[in-house]
Amino acid sequence: MTDQGNRRGAPRRSSAGRQWTWIGVTAAVVVAVVVAVVVTLPRDGSPDGRQVVERRTAAQAFPGGLAVQPSAENQPGRREAAARAAGQETTAQRIAVIADQPIATWLTDDSVADTRATIRDVVRSARQQDRTPVFVLYNVPDRDCGHYSKGGSTASGYVPWVRAAARAMAGSHAVVLVEPDSIAQIAVCKRLEDSRLPLLRQAVGALGGHGLTVYLDGGNEQRVPVAQQASWLRQAGVDRTQGFFTNVSNFYRVDTERAYADELADRIGDDPHFVIDVSRNGQGWRGTWCNPSGAGLGQTPHVTRGSTRLDALLWVKTPGLSDGTCNGGPAAGQWWESYALDLVANRKRD
């Protein structure tokens, strides 16, 4: 067959020449594609295009260390003072083991005015101590899926409530733990599946830009498969936070909980950090999450040296507050003195 190019008077090319031309064109296309990909990726994003914040060191996340609650917010401290006033010195000394430690302040009141007042009191005290306050947002709609701690804000009122709380915390360098149980509970409360994660993502957005360090609900070991929890955390906006918290109001030991958290962080990707609640895990898992017998205080809360992704061991749950009307306890969130004294008696010795 006659070559069409040669028929038009074009010079004949060898097969080798055509091969090198094809290789050159292909290489140029590949380079162009690579350049385009590099240019269009977010500056601080992951390969799949997710925007990822620059995580802080433990010292940056908790400047000055952990603040102790002011007396108005310190429930164990108020009971300690009452015991001393009543001449119950031994009881007061035991409760002081709890009251003297840094404990997170839970924000559960749907009133914006009352929430702001609590935040300002805690922030003012933390500034006087030159330490970091830790807050827990616990007001998400359909909280606890209608169980012992049921309640929470309305769907339309929640994000404005978070926004108001964020403004009150602005400039305080506070640490904010966003809604314990809010993500992990989806596994057993299917009605939360469609609404909960978008709402939490909006909450993360409302907390941004105020100099706060935010952690989302990472559940705890043996609760939700790691791949599922990681997916839910990404959907909730963990990439725009410091990371996640685990073991809140639960009893798992630090070593196994930390192994779980590291596995979860690996699955999420982009190196999220985490904190662990050690308020009542001194005797480890006791067979139930709800007021188990034989539980004890965990390690003294403290910020880590920052050599790993573990930022701090915290007392998130207030030791001595009931988990609910189980195992003889009062309503969730109520002071249960005999249980508090047992936690002290069974505490882990640092």
Q: Which residues are catalytic?
A: 144, 181, 323
How far is 279 from 296, CA to CA, in rounded Å? 8
Alpha helices in 269-323, H assignment, sequence order: none
Residues in the chain: 350
In the β-sheet with 175-178, what is the strand arrangement from edge to edge?
105-107, 134-137, 175-178, 213-217, 243-246, 273-277, 310-314, 302-303
- One-character DSSP codes across 26-84: HHHHHHHHHHHHHHHS-TTB-TT--B-PPPPPHHHHSTTSBPPPPTTT-HHHHHHHHHH
Selection from 207, 183, 191, 199 nearest residue 53 by Cα: 207
- DSSP category for residue 331: S
Whether 312 contacts 306, CB under 8 Å:
no
Question: Which residue, 153, 152, 229, is CA-closest to 185?
Answer: 229
Q: At 290, is the secondary structure helix, strand, or coil?
A: coil
Q: Cα(90)–Cα(27) distance, rounded to whole angstroms?
A: 81
Find the angle CA(180)-CA(186)-CA(187) to the nearest 5 degrees: 115
